[in-house]
Amino acid sequence: MSASPGHSQHQLGTAVDDTSASWWLRKHAPEYGFVLAYPHGRETGYRWEPWHYRYIGTENAERLEMSGLQAFLMREGVLPRC
DSSP assignment letter at 46? S
Cβ burial, residue 62 (10 Å; 0-12/13-18/19+): middle
Specify the length of the chain in residues: 82
Cβ contacts of 15 within 8 Å, gap of 6 or more: 8, 9, 37, 52, 53, 54, 55
Q: Which residues are catalytic?
A: 49
